[in-house]
Amino acid sequence: MSCEIHKGDVGTKMLVTVTDCDVAVDISTADYLSIFIKKPDGTILTRTGVLETDGTDGKMHYVILSGDLDVAGSYKLQGRVVFSGLSSYYTSTATFRVERNL
């Protein structure tokens, strides 16, 4: 994430890492990669995650599009991966602030 995020920003990369007991989970063979963004008003956006590298490091990202950050305030971010056989992992939640503009 950039140092400061503003309402209406587009192109900000939201990066999450999937871990289990502080060890990166290999997500290279995951069937679904999701990133959830919870807005200050409680609305939850579900976005498709993209592997950051080859997936062996557990990292995935989503690049913010127009309309995603339409409210200033405190947001939450969480990732989820699903593998065949229905095993799945959620990441820890992270909080980030979206600043107002003039």
- Predicted TM-score (pTM) of the model is 0.90
Please compute, for residue 90, the number of CA atoms within 13 A of its CA located in the half-sphere on the CB side.
6
Q: Quick: pLDDT tens for 5-35.
A: 999 999 999 999 999 899 999 999 999 999 9
What is the tally of structural domains in the chain?
Answer: 1
DSSP string across 52-76: SSSSTT-EEEEE--TTTT-S-EEEE
Q: What are phi and psi of 52, to 5 degrees?
A: -75, -40
Domain span holding position 11: 5-99
Residues 6+ apart with CB under 8 A from 88: 80, 81, 82
Rounded distance between C-alpha atoms, residue 3 and residue 49, angstroms: 21
Domain CATH code at residue 35: 2.60.40.1220
